[in-house]
Structure 1
């Protein structure tokens, strides 16, 4: 919409009928920044229809009144109500810093307090930042520095020759020696049908030089209706030349004078035919400051006025961001930890993209160029001086005591003491007045640093890190008013661009603006408005990350067990696990490798979550052993695979009698398979054999116990366990006579009957792994019908026995 609003003006209320006058009252809070001294009138409630641009124009008008009418009753009342409070500039850098504070904790906090409030604040700041980035992208155009003298002369002549519809010349003074060489080119343009608009004079009582006046009004007489020229001064200090709505030159000193100074040329970007927005703003400013309102309405501004209907109109840019902000659905707090993983990852993608976009604004091929004037110009100058972080340059061709005061000295000194580089150039302070003590000390310090130059600068400019402003305004001189003659209009260009700022610094005599960090022919260093908080936010929103966050949040083992088992069994992430990735942005990702089947992907060497799968597999087995759920561990072992450090089926089997039994021959064969295993695994087998023997009355336990306590299998076993096992075996053999039906002819245990394991109180009955399912044989049928004394139970209760702690599953390095 902004590109279609070309000019806004207000008629004089005195000349309008009462019913046509509409008054608007805006209640404001007047703030004075303690550090910069800036005065800001902040509306308590923005009037309907006011956007960011409306608030900027309102504040610019207040600033203009403060600078140009300090003695007015309105300004005095305004200043009487000021309160000391930090004035926060509405800039990309400040918005990024706000987002950085809001992003704290997204990288590692399992549960954030007041997540809805933070979500709302992130959305507001994100939308504000996107709006500013979009505006900056629309304001890009080609820009070149123009050297004083011959450089300015060439650019001025070229723009006059290129004009097709309208040529605007604004200069505070017009010297005939500078005007005369241009008259032939100007007359040729008039013959082509070009309209000439002339603004002159830097104060109301200014007069044209007689020869210049004669030459210009002669052109007006000969080309009636084509030359807009008044005998009244425009009270403007601008040095401005506009060619149609395509290109403009903006300088500090008049380009129609002996000392032109340096300036900036703006044109359309190389890859587009779109006129720069800043040129349209400059034309709007020309219409505003032209001495007579009715004549000013004939100054061309709209694209149609330049014969460019349907061509060269700035197009609304397409959506440049890839990631939309996450949503906060109802019921998010049913699983806050799982939801926050996906929510934080989605915001991480959005925030990183915003930082990249801000970096692109500063380091793009074309700089961002905005026209500024009057109050807005003074505001930009003050903000650039106050917000400089690493380097600052203030250059002027005039210096006055009113501007070179203690406030400016304190700002520059603080930057210097913080490690920043301060460049200062202006003529010596004169007038017989004493320089402020703080400013005098600053000059001495900068002279020691070698960054002070005394003399007229090539341009009135302020360079601050990656941006700058240059134009007619005096940074260290009071040029906004002339005593007893009213306000003087000022205009300049605010340019955001790392490369252009460094290039203009070279024009001012600062060859290495970025020091060792910048290359004189390169794009300069990265623009880093933050300390890397966004880069630390993990972008993984997969269920494994959600599971790890649940563990960090101190969630109970039962919840961790449920989610881990569901993931490892390939059943998703549990009831609400899908919410972990639910809040993600609007980007269509297609097949997401983060949500692949962990059992199938875990075996692939490129699976990014293989380590997570192995870790939680071990965690489940260790958890089962800690709880004494050996049957659960036995059933999980073959399902979880045999990765590095995993529990073997044999080791899980020998621990089973501690919970269920009798286990029979599988115990013996599993113990036999572990006879060459590490000592801690054989200790588990020995404990299982003792449990099988004493708790369940199984003769297989006695045979396994004897095998593990004799010969090589017994080497390295704890003495206490060996003694316990031998004593238990002796007690068992003494209490129960040997049953002939349980021993085969080869001395190995016969296949005895076993009670199928159950899981009473643990859910549905477990399923036996196919490779370990008990088989019914003739020996087991014989054992079931045996009436020998061995069918009797031991005297002690199986559940009353107390056992030493069984070591947990071996680690990856102990297998």
Structure 2
């Protein structure tokens, strides 16, 4: 195991006003909801309309009441109804339950790096001995968290706290107390144990938690790693970074992406299509469940992050978008530009002033380094606005040290570019807005507003920058809805006793996982090829991580474009990555100005430039945007992929911001803006949705989805199970007993919407009239039966097995029941062999012999043997008459001489 490192994170002590109620009782709002349901409001939407609350909040209330037994849900009509427990709450008598609430001021810890709230007792006054103390981060404050997230985080922290303290109270509401009770200098330390890894291929440094602390979640882990990356880039000389680098171990850093999770599932799914009995099936099942849940969580997050996005051309395109966003602003307008040229600002001043007259708040960020200065004419014009519209213009004489080119209109739309939109060379950019079919503000815009608060020069003033939906007058409108369950198939269950019949269980289990995994692949493909792309705001360390990952993970095509190039970035490491992709058959596009400074270009990079020039994919000159395009996704913004880093020599860190966009169509469209007309070849040039996104090599498609008893029977045969077991299951299926019923036959149509609609190892299954278990006595009348061939095969197997064992009575009884197909053994043949096992058979033997007189010699030989047995073993005239018929005339032709002699000798004894 790799050596671990303890990292201490400084957390701010905050005091919150927490409203607590009985764990079993109902809150005031919950009582009102119960009363409304009793009064006829039986749907979530009608309850939301009644209380004027967002649907997401109302779903939380209904779910809480349902989970504690106050409400019942009719999944057929999707309506709610009260339970006896609800009647006890709403009763007027002495026995009615009361709502016991109390309000306490409680201390918590807020970690600005991971944006999590922790129990106060989890922190310590001093960092543990030997732990690496992370510098105090200037991240978001607890006040920046949305109310629903704050309430959820506090509930989680209280639940974690009460496990040890035994306090059985439930958090009903949370609010902030007087700021005096939460001084910013009050700090306690929390810890996380990590492994510091350095990826041998990419050189990426990652601090991977051994076990994520409670409350972090996936987003917390991402924010933690992004902050580590930011410190590595901006404070390489700090004691924390130096100590961290001293603990590094060479190990591959696994990116937390959809593609990687699909690859994990692909490895876990190997063998599901062929192995009759998998080793360690419970372990495989548990691993599949974990990865499936992680993938579903990421897909759900991606679906929530979708929004409308358009590429914006340089010059006139950027000018139109900027003017339009200024005119549309209703509450707040954010302008961030590294430089503000008066020639570009002056045409916008009338529109900005009109917005201020409408009551819009203007937030201005400028300067890409601490010592930057505003152009005198621009400074005069902007500070004149601040003086005339006091309190409506947030503008400082201090630089924001940001390279961002950003314009945000309220919380609904934003333009993100590479070069300043208030300069002579605007470059290309991206406009994000709500999707056409929704009024929901994009989540990435809210994240961009949060970033603006982070980089504003003065923290106190930054707190007045609007972020929450309520700040924009959109309470109850445009609030993100609770994500619906998008998947159809639930993972199979692993019940106790599954190993009593491992082969039969595994058939349904593997088929159920096959459906789940194929659905996940389709969902991942939809994320990339949906009508709207997935758009996420990235900045600083997270931005640098995305750039590095896209370059390293490109599979078929990659484009790196910049308007600046420096030797530090155009090094051998980058050259090796691009060369490997090119040698593997990928297409590499590269555009940046010539390297200057009189320094010698790295040999490997120089060779790469020559190779790309030969391919025709190298362009020398300033690119329209600083971007990295990798297969079906891209990132664009202020960060230079091959330019300077996150710091300027002697001037400290420079804040960077951009958009990470996942979408096949948008990536191809933006490539055209960069001068790459055929990003996906002919598909990209057609303007269509582009090629399919195939994250797997076809392992999932090979998993059989048949979980019927016939497939289980075939798997038993492949597993080498004994003939007695095969005989039992085959007979049960063919006779319509046992095996068919054990799979949960359905008598009518059904669906797969709920996780418990069908029982068995397959979990959620689509029900319907089952052709697998049709009446075998009449199976011959169903030529469309997809398993007719299975039925015929196992019918022959059973009969041949009976003949091999000399079970002639069994063969005689089975033959008419199983039906005769082409080449099947006849009832008459089974009849004439019966005396070899049982007798006397009587006249049926003679009639069956007559029916076989034109049969092949082999079958007439069997009839002769049966006649001899009937005559010698059981007596009577039937055997003698049958013998005479078979040994004289045409029926005796072709019969073995030995059998004829035996039959004649036997006849001589009775005649």
- TM-score category, normalised to shorter length: 0.7 to 0.9
Aligned to 2:153: none
Following TM superposition, by how much is the alpha carbon of 1:686 offset from its aligned partner in structure 2, in angstroms? 2.4
Give the direction of change, closer, same or farther, for the CA distance of 1:32–1:238 in structure 2 (3 Å limit).
same
Aligned to 1:409: 575
Give the direction of change, closer, same or farther, for the CA distance of 1:9–1:205 in structure 2 (3 Å limit).
farther
Give the direction of change, closer, same or farther, for the CA distance of 1:395–1:715 in structure 2 (3 Å limit).
farther
1:493 aligns to 2:493 (yes or no): no
Following TM superposition, by how much is the alpha carbon of 1:643 offset from its aligned partner in structure 2, in angstroms? 3.3
Alignment partners' CA distance in 1, 2:360 and 2:221: 37
Structure 1, residues 407-463: CA drift from partner, whole Å, max 9, x if none?
111111111111111111111111111111111111111111111111111111011
Structure 1, residues 233-292: CA drift from partner, whole Å, max 9, x if none?
000000000001010000000011111111000000000000000000000000110000
Aligned to 1:312: 478
Q: Which residue of the other structure, out of 527, 530, 536, is the alignment partner of 2:693?
A: 527
Aligned to 2:181: 15
Contact persistence 1:397–1:460 (CA under 8 A): yes
Alignment partners' CA distance in 2, 1:451 and 1:710: 92
- 2:169 partner SS: helix
Following TM superposition, by how much is the alpha carbon of 1:481 offset from its aligned partner in structure 2, in angstroms? 0.6
Contact persistence 1:398–1:456 (CA under 8 A): yes
Alignment partners' CA distance in 1, 2:648 and 2:704: 58
Following TM superposition, by how much is the alpha carbon of 1:597 offset from its aligned partner in structure 2, in angstroms? 3.8
Alignment partners' CA distance in 2, 1:123 and 1:302: 36
Give the direction of change, closer, same or farther, for the CA distance of 1:206–1:14 in structure 2 (3 Å limit).
farther
Following TM superposition, by how much is the alpha carbon of 1:711 offset from its aligned partner in structure 2, in angstroms? 3.0
Give the direction of change, closer, same or farther, for the CA distance of 1:410–1:732 in structure 2 (3 Å limit).
farther
Please, what TM-score do these two structures have when normalized by structure 1? 0.86
Contact persistence 1:335–1:576 (CA under 8 A): no
Alignment partners' CA distance in 2, 1:442 and 1:280: 41
Alignment partners' CA distance in 2, 1:416 and 1:3: 61
Structure 1, residues 188-233: CA drift from partner, whole Å, max 9, x if none?
1111111111000000000001111111111111111111110000
Give the direction of change, closer, same or farther, for the CA distance of 1:4–1:397 in structure 2 (3 Å limit).
farther
Contact persistence 2:338–2:366 (CA under 8 A): yes
Structure 1, residues 120-155: CA drift from partner, whole Å, max 9, x if none?
001100100000000000000000001111111111
Structure 1, residues 577-614: CA drift from partner, whole Å, max 9, x if none?
69997122235625444444444455312222222111
Alignment partners' CA distance in 2, 1:727 and 1:453: 103
Contact persistence 2:709–2:740 (CA under 8 A): no
Contact persistence 1:389–1:420 (CA under 8 A): yes
Alignment partners' CA distance in 1, 2:615 and 2:900: 82
Moved more, 507-516 or 126-135: 507-516
Give the direction of change, closer, same or farther, for the CA distance of 1:435–1:375 in structure 2 (3 Å limit).
same
Q: Which residue of the other structure, out of 819, 828, 832, is the alignment partner of 1:654?
A: 832
Structure 1, residues 660-702: CA drift from partner, whole Å, max 9, x if none?
2232322221111011223332232222223333443454333
Q: Which residue of the other structure, out of 429, 439, 442, is the alignment partner of 1:273?
A: 439
Q: Which residue of the other structure, out of 880, 888, 898, is the alignment partner of 1:702?
A: 880
Alignment partners' CA distance in 2, 1:391 and 1:15: 55
Give the direction of change, closer, same or farther, for the CA distance of 1:8–1:159 in structure 2 (3 Å limit).
farther
Give the direction of change, closer, same or farther, for the CA distance of 1:138–1:466 in structure 2 (3 Å limit).
same
Contact persistence 2:868–2:879 (CA under 8 A): yes
Contact persistence 2:679–2:685 (CA under 8 A): no
Alignment partners' CA distance in 2, 1:50 and 1:512: 42
Following TM superposition, by how much is the alpha carbon of 1:116 offset from its aligned partner in structure 2, in angstroms? 0.5
Contact persistence 2:776–2:818 (CA under 8 A): no
- 1:314 partner SS: coil
Give the direction of change, closer, same or farther, for the CA distance of 1:512–1:718 in structure 2 (3 Å limit).
farther
Alignment partners' CA distance in 2, 1:536 and 1:462: 35
Alignment partners' CA distance in 2, 1:8 and 1:320: 31
Query: Which aligned pairs between 1:719-730 and structure 2 lie closer than 5 A?
Result: 721-722=899-900, 724-726=902-904, 729=907
- 1:19 partner SS: coil
Aligned to 2:774: 596
Unmatched runs of 5 consecutive residues or more in structure 1: 734-815
Moved more, 105-114 or 262-271: 105-114
Alignment partners' CA distance in 2, 1:287 and 1:308: 20
Alpha-carbon RMSD: 3.3
Give the direction of change, closer, same or farther, for the CA distance of 1:259–1:116 in structure 2 (3 Å limit).
same
Give the direction of change, closer, same or farther, for the CA distance of 1:264–1:221 in structure 2 (3 Å limit).
same
Alignment partners' CA distance in 1, 2:430 and 2:171: 26
Alignment partners' CA distance in 2, 1:358 and 1:522: 19
Following TM superposition, by how much is the alpha carbon of 1:548 offset from its aligned partner in structure 2, in angstroms? 1.1
Moved more, 702-711 or 455-464: 702-711
Please, what TM-score do these two structures have when normalized by structure 2? 0.77
Following TM superposition, by how much is the alpha carbon of 1:712 offset from its aligned partner in structure 2, in angstroms? 2.7
Alignment partners' CA distance in 2, 1:197 and 1:304: 18
Report the number of matched residues.
733
Contact persistence 1:541–1:581 (CA under 8 A): no
Following TM superposition, by how much is the alpha carbon of 1:645 offset from its aligned partner in structure 2, in angstroms? 3.3
Structure 1, residues 755-798: CA drift from partner, whole Å, max 9, x if none?
xxxxxxxxxxxxxxxxxxxxxxxxxxxxxxxxxxxxxxxxxxxx
Alignment partners' CA distance in 2, 1:552 and 1:216: 80
Give the direction of change, closer, same or farther, for the CA distance of 1:7–1:88 in structure 2 (3 Å limit).
farther
Following TM superposition, by how much is the alpha carbon of 1:3 offset from its aligned partner in structure 2, in angstroms? 25
Alignment partners' CA distance in 2, 1:126 and 1:713: 69
- 2:451 partner SS: helix
Give the direction of change, closer, same or farther, for the CA distance of 1:305–1:574 in structure 2 (3 Å limit).
closer
Moved more, 474-483 or 573-582: 573-582
Alignment partners' CA distance in 1, 2:400 and 2:548: 26
Contact persistence 2:632–2:664 (CA under 8 A): yes
Following TM superposition, by how much is the alpha carbon of 1:506 offset from its aligned partner in structure 2, in angstroms? 0.6
Give the direction of change, closer, same or farther, for the CA distance of 1:475–1:573 in structure 2 (3 Å limit).
same
Alignment partners' CA distance in 2, 1:516 and 1:580: 46
Following TM superposition, by how much is the alpha carbon of 1:724 offset from its aligned partner in structure 2, in angstroms? 5.0
Alignment partners' CA distance in 2, 1:609 and 1:599: 14
Contact persistence 1:3–1:314 (CA under 8 A): no
Q: Which residue of the other structure, out of 444, 462, 467, is the alignment partner of 1:301?
A: 467
Query: Which aligned pairs between 1:99-138 and structure 2 lie closer than 5 A?
Result: 99-138=265-304
Contact persistence 2:339–2:420 (CA under 8 A): yes
Give the direction of change, closer, same or farther, for the CA distance of 1:622–1:565 in structure 2 (3 Å limit).
same
Give the direction of change, closer, same or farther, for the CA distance of 1:233–1:537 in structure 2 (3 Å limit).
same
Following TM superposition, by how much is the alpha carbon of 1:478 offset from its aligned partner in structure 2, in angstroms? 1.9
Give the direction of change, closer, same or farther, for the CA distance of 1:483–1:591 in structure 2 (3 Å limit).
same
Contact persistence 1:467–1:495 (CA under 8 A): yes
Contact persistence 1:6–1:280 (CA under 8 A): no
- 2:406 partner SS: strand
Give the direction of change, closer, same or farther, for the CA distance of 1:454–1:638 in structure 2 (3 Å limit).
same
Structure 1, residues 491-514: CA drift from partner, whole Å, max 9, x if none?
000000011001011111111111
Aligned to 1:812: none
Contact persistence 1:598–1:610 (CA under 8 A): no
Unmatched runs of 5 consecutive residues or more in structure 2: 1-166, 744-755
Query: Which aligned pairs between 1:542-621 and structure 2 lie closer than 5 A?
Result: 542-573=708-739, 582-587=760-765, 589-601=767-779, 603-621=781-799
Give the direction of change, closer, same or farther, for the CA distance of 1:18–1:190 in structure 2 (3 Å limit).
closer
Following TM superposition, by how much is the alpha carbon of 1:479 offset from its aligned partner in structure 2, in angstroms? 3.4
Following TM superposition, by how much is the alpha carbon of 1:342 offset from its aligned partner in structure 2, in angstroms? 1.1
Contact persistence 2:740–2:773 (CA under 8 A): no
Structure 1, residues 310-365: CA drift from partner, whole Å, max 9, x if none?
00111111111111111111111111111111111111111111111111100000
Following TM superposition, by how much is the alpha carbon of 1:179 offset from its aligned partner in structure 2, in angstroms? 0.6
Aligned to 2:909: 731
Moved more, 513-522 or 78-87: 513-522
Alignment partners' CA distance in 2, 1:280 and 1:19: 28
Contact persistence 1:385–1:411 (CA under 8 A): yes
Alignment partners' CA distance in 2, 1:18 and 1:183: 38
Contact persistence 1:374–1:491 (CA under 8 A): yes
Moved more, 2-11 or 600-609: 2-11
